[in-house]
Amino acid sequence: MFPLLTPARKRQCRRTTAAAVALSAVLLTAGCGSSDDGAGHAKATSTVPGGFPVTIDNCGVRTTYGTPPSRVVTIHQHPAELMLALGLEDHMVGTAFPDSAVLPELRKDFETVPELAQREPSFERILDAEPDFVYGGYGSAFAENEGRSRKAFADAGIDTYLNREYCGGKQLTMEDTYAEVRTIGRIFDVSDRADELVADLRGRVGEAASAVEGEPEVPVFVYDSGDKSAFTAGGKGLGTELIRLAGGKNVFADLDEVFGDVSWEQVVERRPEVIAIYDYAGAGGVEQKKKFLLSQPALADVPAVRNKRFVVLPLTATLIGIRSAYAVGDLARGLHPQSFR
């Protein structure tokens, strides 16, 4: 008789090492991937997919997967939507921190995934879901001061992956979105689906970019939040790339950060013609943000405010994930409406 597979034992069984797989296509451990031949002898059975093991370097953490993860918790909405877009809902045992309304085509599958918390769940709550893989969208998914460090998960036998936007170090482009999709596809042995999804996303971006080709560049100010100062998208974030592809220019592209604070005097000086408002839970509603901008005497002569030219984007659409391709089209229509009549 083989020992009972406790949650901890299940996680250990899933974490097949590359060395073991390389030694043999069949991994035999007590109570993990074995069966009885009827005479009391354990027989090894191979369940390793083709192309495995797979080794992934992610934000300084190297992980080798002997088989695709089977019990996944996503923290933040954009990792959840990426998983669903790849048809991996059967692998998901929990999600958390929904930022905005789910894409309509993903809503039905999203509703089948248990919601662990309205914000980032505790380490213990995540463990209760018995995951073998945790996929975080923002750096806060693995906040060390809240007990959710990647090392803490590794010590519990759970692999982790952080959205590459939070690896830092370089200007993000849509190529990072495509690479993210393909990496998750490799981890879950669905590279064909990932390639199809990337082709669809590229097509969406290409269609929008072609529609505004040759149009004059529109100066855009991103308003995330803030009253004493403006919290805006800097040059290192994906938002700057999305604006460029949509036929605009981020007026704070020279801010050497993903996000940062600027003064309202700087906003006035740079005279944006359109304001892109980032919409997400916990930062005040869109109408409240518009009301604030329109009520400031100092902003009255800013072209975007004077002409009430606002484009609203869900924050999740400006991050490394499947929505970024949709955001290019939404921005392009807001910046160059005449190109879509």
**Residue 152 near residue 176 (C-beta atoms within 8 A):** no
pLDDT tier for residue 282 given thresholds of 50, 70 and 90: low
Tens digits of residue pLDDT in 66-110: 999 999 999 999 999 999 999 999 999 999 998 888 899 999 999
17 has pLDDT over 70: no
Q: Read off the pLDDT of each residue in 44-57 and give the average, rounded to a whole number.
A: 72
CATH of 1-167, one of 3.20.20.210, 3.30.470.10, 3.40.50.1980, 3.30.1520.10: 3.40.50.1980
Burial class for 283, CB neighbours closer than 10 Å (0-12, 13-18, 19+): middle
Alpha-carbon span 229 to 134, nearest angstrom: 35
Alpha-carbon span 229 to 63, nearest angstrom: 41
pTM: 0.82
The partner residues of 133 in beta bridges, in order of sequence, read 72, 159
Structural domain boundaries of the chain? Answer: 1-167, 215-340
Query: What is the structure's pLDDT at 39?
Result: 34
pLDDT tier for residue 28 given thresholds of 50, 70 and 90: very low
Q: Which residue has the higher pLDDT, 42 or 185?
A: 185
Q: Which residue has the higher pLDDT, 48 or 139?
A: 139
Where are the strands (E) in 118-229, listed by range? Answer: 133-136, 159-162, 218-223
**Residue 135 near residue 161 (C-beta atoms within 8 A):** yes
Instruction: Report domain 215-340's class.
Output: alpha beta
30 has pLDDT over 60: no
1-167 and 215-340, same CATH topology: yes
